[in-house]
Copies of this chain bind each other. A is one copy, B any other.
Amino acid sequence: MKIGIFGTGPVGQTLAAKLASLGHDVFIGTRDPAATLKRNDNDSFGNPPFRVWKEKHGSIGFDGFAEAARHGELLINATNGNGALAAIDAAGADAVDGKVLIDVSNPLDFSRGMPPSLSVCNTDSLGEQIQRAAPRARVVKTLNTVNAHLMVDPGQLAGGDHTMFVCGNDAAAKAEAKALLEGFGWRDIVDLGDIANARGTEMYLPLWVRLWMATQSPMFSIKLVR
């Protein structure tokens, strides 16, 4: 399938590489492609610059948000939460209308330091903001409750015996997202209902960040025990 991914950070890279390895035709988009390719320094988490990754993944297309959106029959927003709405805006309504748009981002606000708070929560969510910004896109919120390595390979932790959540307004879009997750190895996928339920999974992030600090590793997940 032709897949367009917004965001060149570790999440976008990890999703793009995995989807390409599964045979998909992947195109990654960013705000300013030339500036992204010019960057030579590691990011604040110590990850090498995008250019280094790009050289190793020559088959994956790369350009602006609009080009990635036009390429994709299915789109994934993997920007950081603060950049999500600008990415949707830059992609353009025509290029996203009618398409499944999987949003894996979180509205983390690091402006007060660690642990981050959320820039939107409680009576709204980033998932809902994205759905309102692209009302004819078929937004599915998922994968935002684990780190990028677990997103695409849940089996590396406890043989995959942990839980993922999906929500969104369009049942067929959720079924498509679930099929993609199952391709990654997810076996326990809980449908929470419409996109307003993104409040639930995004508001789990403050606990996620604290569990990361308590366990000293981002390679954890939660299992819904019932």
By a beta-carbon cutoff of 8 Å, the part of chain A in contact with chain B is 112, 115, 117-118, 121-123, 157-158, 161-162, 165, 190-193, 197, 199-201, 203-204, 206-207, 209-211, 213-215, 217, 219-226
Contact = CB atoms under 8 A, between A and B. Distances in A.
Contacts of A219: 226
A199 B215 CA distance: 18
Contacts of A200: 115, 206-207, 209-211
Given A200-B209, A203-B203, A225 B225 contact: no
Contacts of A226: 157, 215, 217, 219-220
Given A190-B211, A206-B122, A161 B225 contact: yes
B157 A225 contact: yes
Given A118-B122, A215-B226, 18 more contacts: A121-B203, A122-B122, A158-B225, A161-B225, A190-B214, A190-B215, A191-B214, A192-B211, A192-B213, A192-B214, A193-B210, A193-B214, A197-B210, A199-B206, A220-B224, A221-B225, A223-B223, A223-B225
A222 B223 contact: yes
A4 to B, nearest CB: 29
Given A161-B225, A192-B214, A223-B222, A206 B207 contact: no
Nearest to A118: B122
Contacts of A217: 226
A115 B192 CA distance: 12
